[in-house]
RNA sequence: GGGAGGUUGCCCGAGUGGUUAAAGGGGACGGACUGUAAAUCCGUUGCUUCGGCUACGCAGGUUCGAAUCCUGCACCUCCCA
C-alpha cells in the first residue's frame, strides 16, 4: 500500500467517521507521518474492543506511516468520561504498570516495532508524573476555555443526567488527553490522532491546545464505533469481554465468538477488523446474500482473526475443537488430544474406583460444574439435554463406567448444544 | 427530630391466616425448527438419600395452620421540621 491511498482504503472499508478537512489530510498523508492512538490500560490484556484501533494503526503503518501506541498509564488513573454513564473506579499505580506491560506484549502482533517506520510504544505516565498542579494549570489549563469544554458532548451528556454527576477529576480528563497530543507533536513529530468517534471531542481539544501552545496544525480522524446491529459493543458477551490473551479467552472460544457473528454484523467486522482485499470482500458479501447458510463470511472472519491473533497453530486447534465439539461421537482419542481439544472447558475428576463401580451421571454433571445441583442435573436429563461423548443420554439413571471413556482417562460431558466439560479419572 | 410507606424467588412484580414451592413478566437454561445465526414454538427455572426438607429483610411470638397477624431490630423510599 502506498502512502497516498490510505484514505481510499479507509473509505471503502467505511472506517472514516469524521476527520479534519479531508483534502488537507489527504495532502498531509502524502508523506510519511507519525500517527497515534490511545489505549486504556484497564486490564492486563487487550480485548476485542482494541482490535479496531490497533488495526487502524497497522493500516497506517502498512501505508508507510509511523504508528505510536499510547498507553494511558497516567490517564488510566483518571478515567475518560466519554461514553461512560458513571464515575469510574480509579486504578492504582502497580496495577496500571502490570497492565501496560501485558498490553505492550500483545501489540507486537499488530505493529512492527523494527524497520524504517517502526512503531513505538509510549506511556503518558512518563511525561505526566513529573507535573506539578501549578505547573499544569499555568501551561495547559490556561489554554482551555471552560465554556468550550462544557460544550463538548461527552461532558454535556453527563451534566444532563440527573442520576450521576461528573467529578472535577473526570472533567479534567480532556486536558490530559489533549496535552498528550500536543506533547507527542513536539517530541515525536506526531501530527495525526485516530480513535473511535466518541474520542472526537478529546482529539480536537488536543488540536486546539497544540495550536495555542506551539502554533502547530494537527489532524484528527475518527472511526465509527464497532457496534452490533442491536446497538451493543462488538466483542463483548453477557459473560464479559473477549480477550486477545489465549489464556483468558482460548483460541477456540475466540474463534467461536466470531464464527457466531450475526449476518447483520459480519460484513462490518470483515471490513473493520481484517485485511482481506476488496475483491474477496465482494465475493463474501455475495455469498452471504445468496447462500447465508454456508456462512462463508463468518468462517472467513473467524479464521482470519484467529490466525492473526493466535497464529496458524491457534487456528488449527480452534478448528479441530470446533469439529469435535459440534461433530460426531467422541471416542478413541488419546488423552493428550482430548485435553488439548477441550482445554478451555470446565473439568472435574473422579477416582478409578468410583468409575469401576459405576458412577451416577447425575453426580458427574454436578461435579464438573455443568449443573448446579442434582435436581438441576435431573431436569436437564429429563429434557433430553445431556450428552456423553456427544451421544445423547436416554436414561436418567445412567451410570458411567470405564466403557464410557473417550480416551485413556477422560470423557466428555455436555449439556445443551454447547456447554461441555471434561471428566477425568484419577489414579 | 416527627409522620407515612416499603423489604417476596436471578431481576421486576402479584399475593393480607389454609393445595402458595408462591400468579404474571423478564432473564437464564433445555428441546424442536434452522445455518453452531436471528425469529418462532414447546418445556424447565429451591434442595433432596424422592420419605421429605428449607424458603417470602433478621430475631422472636400468636395460631391446629402465617409470606400474610403481633413485638423488637436492620435497611430503603417519600413527606414535615
CATH number for the domain harbouring residue A371: 3.10.290.10
Beta-sheet strand order (sheet of A419-426): A347-351, A419-426, A410-415, A386-388, A391-392
- How far is CA A348 from its chain centroid? 30
Q: Are residues A268 and A354 in the same domain?
A: no
Q: Are residues A260 and A407 in the same domain?
A: no
Q: Is the CB of A263 under 7 A from strand B?
A: yes
Residues A184, A202: Cα–Cα separation, whole Å: 15
Q: Is the CB of A320 under 7 A from strand B?
A: no
ipTM of the prediction: 0.86
Say how many C-beta atoms besides its own lie within 10 A of residue A101's C-beta.
12
CA of A375 to C1' of B56 (A): 22
* Category of A416 on φ-ψ map: left (φ > 0), alpha (ψ -120 to 50) or beta: left
Please give the residue range of the domain that contains residue A340.
Answer: 335-426
The pLDDT, as a whole number, for residue A165 is 64
The pLDDT, as a whole number, for residue A343 is 81
Residue from A241, A254, A340, A345 nearest A302 by CA: A254
Nucleotide nearest to A383 (CA to C1'): B30
- Using a 7 Å cut-off to protein CB atoms, list the covered nucleotides of chain B: 28-32, 34-38, 43-50
Q: Are residues A221 and A107 in the same domain?
A: yes
Q: How many domains does chain A have?
A: 3
Q: Is residue A233 part of a domain?
A: no
Residue A276 grid coordinates: 482481506
Residue A168 grid coordinates: 472535577
Residues A216, A387: Cα–Cα separation, whole Å: 66
Q: Are residues A32 and A125 in the same domain?
A: yes
Q: What is the dihedral of CA A87, A93, A95, A99, to 10 degrees?
A: 90
Q: Is the CB of A378 under 7 A from strand B?
A: yes
**What residues contact A41, with CB distance under 8 A and at least 6 apart?**
A71, A72, A73, A76, A91, A96, A99, A100, A103
Residue from A74, A316, A48, A317 nearest A175 by CA: A74
Task: Please give the full DSSP string across A137-163, using - where no structure is assigned.
Answer: HHHTGGG--HHHHHHSHHHHHHHH-SS
Q: What is the DSSP letter of A243?
A: B
The pLDDT, as a whole number, for residue A161 is 58
Q: Is the CB of A384 under 7 A from strand B?
A: yes
pLDDT in tens, chain A (427 residues): 454 589 999 999 999 999 999 999 999 999 999 999 999 888 888 989 899 999 999 999 999 999 999 998 888 776 665 555 445 555 677 888 888 888 989 999 999 999 889 999 999 989 988 888 899 999 899 898 888 888 887 777 777 655 556 778 778 888 999 999 999 999 999 999 999 998 999 999 999 999 999 999 999 999 998 888 777 778 777 667 889 998 888 898 899 999 999 898 999 999 999 999 999 999 999 999 999 999 999 999 999 999 999 999 999 999 988 888 887 788 888 999 898 888 878 899 999 999 999 999 999 999 999 999 999 999 999 999 999 999 999 888 899 999 999 999 999 999 998 899 999 999 7
Residues A360, A308: Cα–Cα separation, whole Å: 43
Q: Are residues A108 and A249 in the same domain?
A: no
Q: What is the DSSP letter of A227?
A: B
Say how many C-beta atoms besides its own lie within 10 A of residue A67's C-beta.
28
Q: Is the CB of A130 under 7 A from strand B?
A: no
The pLDDT, as a whole number, for residue A85 is 46
Pairing of strands A34-39, A190-196: parallel
Nucleotide nearest to A380 (CA to C1'): B30
Residue that is last in its domain, among A290, A325, A360: A325
CATH code of the domain containing A300: 1.10.240.10
CATH code of the domain containing A117: 3.40.50.620
Residue that is last in its domain, among A201, A225, A249: A225
* Residue A422 C-beta-side C-alpha neighbours within 13 Å: 23
Q: Is the CB of A237 under 7 A from strand B?
A: no
Contact A406, A331 (CB under 8 A): yes
Burial (CB count within 10 angstroms: exposed 0-12, middle 13-18, buried 19+), residue A364: buried
Instruction: Return the H-helix or E-strand segment holding A419.
Output: strand A419-426
Q: Is residue A330 part of a domain?
A: no
Residue from A2, A85, A98 nearest A41 by CA: A98
Q: Is the CB of A385 under 7 A from strand B?
A: yes
The pLDDT, as a whole number, for residue A116 is 87
Amino acid at each position: 500500500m502506498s502512502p497516498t491511498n490510505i484514505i481510499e482504503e479507509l473509505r471503502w472499508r467505511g472506517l472514516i467517521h469524521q476527520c479534519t478537512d479531508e483534502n488537507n489530510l489527504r495532502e498531509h498523508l502524502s508523506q510519511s507521518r507519525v500517527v497515534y492512538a490511545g489505549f486504556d490500560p484497564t486490564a492486563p490484556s487487550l480485548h476485542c474492543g482494541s482490535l479496531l484501533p490497533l488495526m487502524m494503526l497497522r493500516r497506517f503503518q502498512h501505508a508507510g506511516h509511523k504508528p505510536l501506541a499510547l498507553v494511558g498509564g497516567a490517564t488510566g488513573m483518571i478515567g475518560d468520561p466519554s461514553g461512560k454513564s458513571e464515575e469510574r473506579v480509579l486504578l492504582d499505580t502497580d496495577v496500571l504498570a502490570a497492565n501496560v506491560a501485558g498490553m505492550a506484549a500483545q501489540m507486537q502482533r499488530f505493529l512492527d516495532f523494527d524497520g524504517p517506520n517502526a512503531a513505538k510504544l509510549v506511556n503518558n505516565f512518563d511525561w505526566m508524573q513529573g507535573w506539578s498542579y501549578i505547573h499544569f494549570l499555568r501551561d495547559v489549563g490556561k489554554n482551555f476555555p471552560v465554556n468550550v469544554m462544557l460544550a463538548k458532548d461527552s461532558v454535556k451528556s453527563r451534566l444532563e443526567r440527573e442520576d450521576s454527576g461528573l467529578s472535577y477529576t473526570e472533567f479534567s480528563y480532556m486536558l490530559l488527553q489533549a496535552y498528550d497530543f500536543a506533547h507527542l507533536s513536539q517530541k515525536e513529530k506526531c501530527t495525526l490522532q485516530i480513535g473511535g468517534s466518541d474520542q472526537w471531542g478529546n482529539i480536537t481539544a488536543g488540536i486546539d491546545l497544540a495550536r495555542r501552545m506551539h502554533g502547530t496544525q494537527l489532524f484528527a480522524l475518527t472511526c465509527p464505533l464497532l457496534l452490533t446491529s442491536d446497538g451493543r459493543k462488538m466483542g463483548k458477551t453477557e459473560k464479559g469481554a473477549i480477550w486477545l490473551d489465549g489464556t483468558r479467552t482460548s483460541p477456540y472460544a475466540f474463534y467461536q465468538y466470531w464464527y457466531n457473528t450475526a449476518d447483520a454484523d459480519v460484513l462490518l467486522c470483515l471490513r473493520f477488523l481484517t485485511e482481506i482485499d476488496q475483491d474477496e470482500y465482494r465475493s463474501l458479501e455475495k455469498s452471504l446474500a445468496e447462500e447465508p447458510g454456508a456462512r462463508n463470511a463468518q468462517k472467513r472472519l473467524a479464521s482470519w482473526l484467529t490466525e492473526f491473533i493466535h497464529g496458524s497453530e491457534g487456528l488449527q486447534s480452534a478448528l479441530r475443537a470446533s469439529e469435535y465439539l459440534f461433530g460426531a461421537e467422541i471416542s478413541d482419542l488419546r488423552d493428550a488430544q482430548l485435553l488439548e481439544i477441550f482445554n478451555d472447558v470446565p473439568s472435574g475428576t473422579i477416582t478409578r474406583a468410583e468409575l469401576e463401580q459405576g458412577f451416577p451421571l447425575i453426580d458427574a454433571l454436578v461435579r464438573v460444574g455443568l449443573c448446579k445441583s442434582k435436581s438441576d442435573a435431573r431436569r436437564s436429563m429429563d429434557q433430553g439435554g445431556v450428552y456423553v461423548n456427544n451421544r445423547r443420554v436416554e436414561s436418567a439413571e445412567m451410570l458411567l463406567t470405564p466403557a464410557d471413556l473417550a480416551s485413556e482417562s477422560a470423557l466428555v460431558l455436555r449439556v445443551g448444544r454447547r456447554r461441555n466439560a471434561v471428566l477425568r479419572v484419577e489414579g
